[in-house]
Chain A
C-alpha cells in the first residue's frame, strides 16, 4: 500500500466510520418511538442495534490501536495505480449507464457502456472495441428479449 498509511490506520478509519453510523442511527431511531420492554415501538429494535453497533465499533477502534501493524489488513498487491484507475472508470461508466438507460434506451446505452469497458478498462484497440461492443449489445438485447426480461423503455426506442 504505497502512500496510503499503515494497516492499523485503515482499521481505525473503518471503525471510526462504523461508530459514526451507529451513533447517527441511534439518534435517528430515537426520533421513532422506542417504547419500553412491555410495549416495544418501531424504534425499539433499530435503537438497540445502533447502540450495539456503536459498542462493537468502539471495541474495534480500541483494538486497532493495540494491534496496529500486527494484523495484515487490506488485500495485498492492491497498490497498482492502473488497477485503481480501472475501478474508477468502471464505476463511472456504470453509474452513467444507469442514468443513460432511461434516455438513450437499452441498445445505445449498452453499446456506449461496452465501448468504455472494452476500450478504456480492457485496453482493446478501437476496431476491436467497437466490434465487440456492437456484438455484445445486440446479442444481450436478443438474449434478454428471448428470456422475457424487463428492459428500460428509453425515449429513443429500445
Chain B
C-alpha cells in the first residue's frame, strides 16, 4: 500500500475490512462489544468509565487493535443501555433515558420482545448508516482541515467550547465557569512552547500535567459511585416472559420512518461538539411525537418512541468519530478517552491520520460495521443472560468498580499520586453533581486546553500581537462569528419574539 491518497474509497474500505477482519482485531472487536453491552446493561457503570478502566489493558496491544476494542465498548453500551431501559425502566446508559418512556410501557403491555427487537434492529441500521456516513464525509473534511493554520484551529476550538457550554445541562454560566476551569487545569505542567513549569508546586508528578485517565475516572467513575452509595440505587427487574423478539410487519411499518429520521438526525447532530448521544435521542423523540398522527400514543407504548431515539443515539456515536478522526478534536467525553488511547500509542489523530495511518483509520471504521453486525447476532439471543445480570446487587458491584478505578489509575504510569489525583477529582465531581455543575465542559476544555493555548500563542506570534488575525482569516472569522451568535442567541430571541408579539397586537383591530 503506497500512501493513503492514492486509494479510492472502495479500495480504502476493502483495505479497512482486511484489517478489521484479522483474527486479533476481530477478537478485540468482539471483546469490546461484549464488554460494552455488559456495562450498558448494568446501571451505574457508564461507557466512559469502562473505557478508561480498560485503558491499561490496551497498552500491550497495537494502536489499531486497542482502538477497535475501545470503540466497540462505546457503541456496544448503546445497545445494552436500551435493554435495561425497556425491562427495568432505569436507563443502563444515559443515552437510553428517553427509551424508558415508551419502551418500558411496551414491556408492561407484554410487548417487551418487539421493543427489544426494534431497539436492536434500529441501532444496527443507524450504526450502519453512520459508518457509511463517516466513509463519505471524513475524507473531504480531512482535506479541508489540512489547510487549517493556528488561527483557524483557535477559532474552531472557541466555537467548540461555546457549543459545549451552550449544550451543557443546567445553568450556562456554571458551564462557562467549568469550561474555563478545565482550560486552566490543562495549563498545569510544563509550558508547551518554552517549557517553564506552571502551577506544579515543585511536584515532579505535576510536571507532566494532570493525567487524563485519573481525571476521567475521578469525575465520572468515583463521583458516580459516591452518589449511588449515598442515594441507594434502586433496582428491580420487570418480571416478564420475553417472547417473539422479531417485530411484526406493522411494527416495521411504524418504525421505518423513525429509524430513517433518527439515523440522519443522530449522525449529523453527533458531529457537533457537546452533543454527545443524549440530546440527539431526545430530539428524535420530540420530532417523532410532533409529526405522529397519534401523538397521544407516545408515553403509552408507541414503538416509534423506541425506534427513533435508539437509532439516533447509535448514529450519533458514529457521527462523533468524525471531528476526532479528521480534526483531532474530541466532541464529547468518550471521544476524549479515545484521543487518550491514540496519544498513548504515539498517534496523533487529525487530518493526517488517513494518510499516515490508513490501517488505523479504515480499520477502526470498518470494525464498527463488523461490530454492529456482531451486536445484532449477539444481543437478541443473549437477552435472557442480560436480564439475569441485572439481578446482581449494586452492593457487590461498587467495591469492584472502585478497585478497578484505583488500579486503573495506578497502572497508567505506576505512580501512587495518580490515584490521589483520581480520588480528589472524585470528590470534586461528587460535589459538582450535588451543586449542579456539569463536568462535561470541564473535561473537554481540559483535553483541548493545550491545543487552544498553542494555537492562540502561535497566531499572536504570526500576527505580531494583532488580534485581527482571527477576524481577517475568513474561516476563523466565520467560526468566531458563529460562536458570538450562539452566545447572543439566548438574549436576542426572547426580545425578538416580544417585539413580534407587540407588532401583531397592534395590527389586530
Q: Which residues of A contact B (CB under 8 A)?
A: 10-11, 14, 18, 21, 25, 28-29, 32-33, 36-46, 49-50, 52-53, 56-57, 59-60, 63, 71, 73-75, 77-78, 80, 83-84, 86-87, 90-91, 94-95, 97-99, 101-102, 110, 113-114, 117-118, 121-122, 124, 132, 136, 140, 144, 147-152
Within the complex, what minimum Cβ distance (angstroms) separates B96 from chain A? 21
Interchain CA distance A80-B180 in the complex, whole Å: 33
> What residue of chain B has the Cβ atom nearest to residue A38's Cβ?
B465
26 of the cross-chain contacts (CB-CB < 8 Å) are: A25-B184, A29-B198, A37-B465, A38-B465, A39-B461, A40-B456, A40-B460, A45-B187, A45-B456, A46-B198, A75-B227, A75-B436, A80-B230, A84-B230, A86-B229, A95-B420, A95-B423, A101-B410, A117-B398, A118-B395, A121-B399, A140-B400, A140-B407, A149-B407, A150-B414, A151-B411
Interchain CA distance A23-B458 in the complex, whole Å: 27
In contact, B453 and A45 (Cβ under 8 angstroms): yes
- B residues in contact with A57, CB < 8 Å: 177
In contact, B173 and A56 (Cβ under 8 angstroms): yes
> What residue of chain A has the Cβ atom nearest to residue B414's Cβ?
A150
In contact, A44 and B457 (Cβ under 8 angstroms): yes
> What residue of chain A has the Cβ atom nearest to residue B54's Cβ?
A147
Contacting residues of chain B (279-325) with chain A, CB-CB under 8 angstroms: none
- B191 lies within 8 A of chain A by Cβ: yes
- A residues in contact with B174, CB < 8 Å: 60
Partner of A87, one of B187, B229, B400, B406: B229
Stretch at the interface among B18-26, B117-125, B240-248, B427-435: B427-435
In contact, B198 and A42 (Cβ under 8 angstroms): yes
In contact, B410 and A113 (Cβ under 8 angstroms): no
Interchain CA distance A75-B230 in the complex, whole Å: 11
> What residue of chain B has the Cβ atom nearest to residue A11's Cβ?
B435
> What residue of chain B has the Cβ atom nearest to residue A102's Cβ?
B416
- B residues in contact with A43, CB < 8 Å: 198
In contact, B199 and A152 (Cβ under 8 angstroms): no
> What residue of chain B has the Cβ atom nearest to residue A146's Cβ?
B57
Partner of B184, one of A42, A53, A83, A94: A53
The size class of the interface chain B forms with chain A is: 35 or more
Determine chain B's interface SS by DSSP, over half rule. helix
> What residue of chain B has the Cβ atom nearest to residue A28's Cβ?
B199
With A50-B184, A80-B230, A149-B56: A94-B402 Cβ-Cβ less than 8 Å: yes
**0/1 interface trace, chain B 447-480, chain A, CB 8 Å (1 if under):** 0000011001100110011110000000000000
Partner of A49, one of B187, B230, B460, B464: B187
Within the complex, what minimum Cβ distance (angstroms) separates A16 from chain B? 12
Interchain CA distance A99-B410 in the complex, whole Å: 12
- A residues in contact with B60, CB < 8 Å: 148
Contacting residues of chain B (155-178) with chain A, CB-CB under 8 angstroms: 171, 173-174, 176-177
Q: Which residues of B contact A (CB under 8 A)?
A: 56-57, 60, 171, 173-174, 176-177, 180-181, 183-184, 187, 191, 193-194, 196, 198-199, 222, 225-227, 229-232, 395-396, 398-400, 402-403, 406-408, 410-411, 414, 416, 419-420, 423, 426-427, 430, 433-437, 452-453, 456-457, 460-461, 464-467
With A98-B423, A101-B416, A149-B407: A14-B399 Cβ-Cβ less than 8 Å: no
- B residues in contact with A49, CB < 8 Å: 180, 183-184, 187
State the 4 A-B residue pairs at the shortest beta-carbon distance, nearest first: A38-B465, A37-B465, A83-B230, A42-B191
In contact, B177 and A53 (Cβ under 8 angstroms): yes
- A residues in contact with B57, CB < 8 Å: 147-149
Partner of B416, one of A10, A110, A152: A152
> What residue of chain A has the Cβ atom nearest to residue B432's Cβ?
A14
Interchain CA distance A60-B461 in the complex, whole Å: 34
Interchain CA distance A26-B69 in the complex, whole Å: 42
